[in-house]
Amino acid sequence: MQNKIYDLIGIGIGPFNLGLAALSEPIAGLDTLFFDMADHFNWHPGMLLDRATMQTSFIADLVTLADPTSPYSFLNFAKQSGRLYAFYIKEDFFLLRQEYNQYCQWVAGKLSNLRFGQFVQFARYDEQQACYVLTCTSTRTGASSQYLAKKLVLGTGTKPQLPPCCDGVPVIHSGQYLARKTQLQQKKRLAVVGSGQSAAEIYLDLLQDARRHDYQIDWITRSPRFFPLEYTKLTLEMTSPDYIDYFHALPDHTRSPLLESQKGLYKGINRTLINAIFDELYRLKLDGELPSRLLSNVEMQALTLKNGNYTLKLHHHETGQCEHADYDGLVIASGYGYQAPAFMQGVQHRIRHDAQGRLAVRRNYSIDLHGNEIFVQNAELHTHGLAAPDLTMACHRNSVILHEVLGHSPYPIEQRVAFQQFGLSATEQQEMAWA
């Protein structure tokens, strides 16, 4: 076991913890480490489609909204890559997803506090040393080692969520799409099931090649229509510290249905993408019958697989009609959900849960009994609202976590940024949220 006790260890190196690592690196006297079992940073490689773009502005990079002077900003990456003037002339706030991934890889290559190829097997608390002990295994050598930390930050990410009817049936999740695309395009009847950005991107990608590969491609969504992502400015204020304070202070029985009603605000489809899909359908229609169906308000209620063919039981919500549709290729773009990492079993007695067994996440993103030892990244949708998975608020969350770790704010934390007031008494709501 190493004797050094780190101030903070982060587990999982996705964009959120990578941003925390970048903001931590320049702080004198702060000892941090970040572990990931992967060999290198690679953000959702199965969805790095050629023309796919981010849904947040380039300003919402890993560091800028906390520290605009950081050397780890996207603009510095663009400058160092010789692309800054081209990016300026392009006049587009939304990066290509591949470009964002390259930027993150560039930052990861510059940080000294990252340890890739480390699988965290177990965590426990050492009462005598008043610290957490992590047992890690190298994915390259198999060697085991232990690390000590006063604080932990869980950034292990979300896991694919599949509809219940998919249990026991091998399907392709959207996160596997690019690796399975060639195989899919050898089929004759394809279906994409899902309602969000990933489903739309995959559908358009397959639709554009439908005639060339001679297949039918259907898009099935249980949403009543193909909802665009709401991107008006007053709605964007809901991804703000103000709204997080307001949402967190609400009782759980109010938060849950409210969050359900807000799905279109963070799970919608980019308007440009919706228009591109329509334009592609229009173009294909010029040459004859469309090789595609778009089925909205339709839920996949059952799924079977026999001899390589999928049979979907489809139910239309408004008419009550049902039909069985057969496909030999299927992509499920049903999104992701939080799953507690197995290595945390050894410290479960130090973690707070709510009445439904979910993590009871405080406003400062802590989940431990003392409120300042274990923090989470993107595991707080049910307590902090739609800002939890949004890259725009990552710098705010990381600034709050660093304040809790250090006892002071190395980066200014904005409290009031919205023009609108979400509760009748904004001050009271804020005090309740931070209680």
Task: Note down pLDDT in tens along the chain; length 435 residues.
Answer: 568 999 999 999 999 999 999 999 999 999 999 999 999 999 999 999 988 999 999 999 999 999 999 999 999 999 999 999 999 999 999 999 999 999 999 999 999 999 999 999 999 999 999 999 999 999 999 999 999 999 999 999 889 999 999 999 999 999 999 999 999 999 999 999 999 999 999 999 999 999 999 999 999 999 999 989 888 899 999 999 999 999 999 999 999 999 988 887 788 899 999 999 999 999 999 999 999 999 999 999 999 999 999 999 999 999 999 999 999 999 999 989 888 899 999 999 999 999 999 999 999 999 999 999 999 999 999 999 999 999 999 999 999 999 999 999 999 999 899 999 999 875 555 555 555
* Distance from C-alpha of 64 to C-alpha of 54, rounded to nearest angstrom: 16
Cα angle, residue 250 at apex, residues 361 and 226 outer, rounded to 5°: 90
Distances (CA, A) of 76 to 64, 67, 68, 80, 106: 10, 13, 10, 6, 10
For residue 185, give both structure tokens: 């395009």
For residue 367, give both structure tokens: 């989940």
Q: What single DSSP character describes residue 333?
A: -
Counting other chains too, the contacts that 419-424 makes at CB distance below 8 Å and 24 or more residues apart are 419/234, 419/237, 420/234, 420/237, 421/242, 422/242, 422/243, 422/245, 422/246, 423/246, 423/249
* Distance from C-alpha of 371 to C-alpha of 151, rounded to nearest angstrom: 11
* Distance from C-alpha of 34 to C-alpha of 227, rounded to nearest angstrom: 37
The dihedral through the CA atoms of 280, 226, 192, 200 has a sign that is positive
Residue 380: what pLDDT? 96
* Single pTM value for the model: 0.94
Residue 261: what pLDDT? 86
Q: Please check whether residue 218 is in contact with residue 184, taking contact to mean a CB–CB distance below 8 angstroms.
A: no
Q: Residue ranges of the alpha helices (H) in 41-196?
A: 74-80, 84-90, 97-110, 177-184
First to last CA, the chain: 37
Q: What single DSSP character describes residue 31?
A: -
Beta bridge partners, 192, equal: 219, 331
Distances (CA, A) of 194 to 40, 128, 179, 228: 30, 50, 19, 14
* Distance from C-alpha of 158 to C-alpha of 13, rounded to nearest angstrom: 12
Local structure of 251: helix, strand or coil:
coil
Q: At what angle do helices 197-207 and 177-184 cross, to 10 degrees?
A: 30
Beta bridge partners, 315, equal: 299, 322
Beta bridge partners, 359, equal: 353
* Distance from C-alpha of 299 to C-alpha of 378, rounded to nearest angstrom: 28
Q: Are strands 144-154 and 131-138 parallel, antiparallel or unpaired?
A: antiparallel
Residue 157: what pLDDT? 87
Residue 3: what pLDDT? 82
For residue 219, give both structure tokens: 């898009």
Identity at 18, one-letter amino acid code: L
Q: Please check whether residue 166 is in contact with residue 332, taking contact to mean a CB–CB distance below 8 angstroms.
A: yes
Q: Please check whether residue 77 is in contact with residue 71, taking contact to mean a CB–CB distance below 8 angstroms.
A: no
Domains annotated for the chain, with CATH where assigned, are 5-159+336-434 (3.50.50.60), 162-229+267-332 (3.50.50.60)
* Distance from C-alpha of 170 to C-alpha of 167, rounded to nearest angstrom: 8
* Distance from C-alpha of 315 to C-alpha of 303, rounded to nearest angstrom: 12
Closest CA to 364 of 59, 151, 157: 151
* Distance from C-alpha of 357 to C-alpha of 352, rounded to nearest angstrom: 9
* Distance from C-alpha of 412 to C-alpha of 122, rounded to nearest angstrom: 35
Closest CA to 430 of 410, 412, 415: 415
The dihedral through the CA atoms of 226, 385, 161, 135 has a sign that is positive
Residue 260: what pLDDT? 86
Q: Are strands 298-306 and 309-316 parallel, antiparallel or unpaired?
A: antiparallel
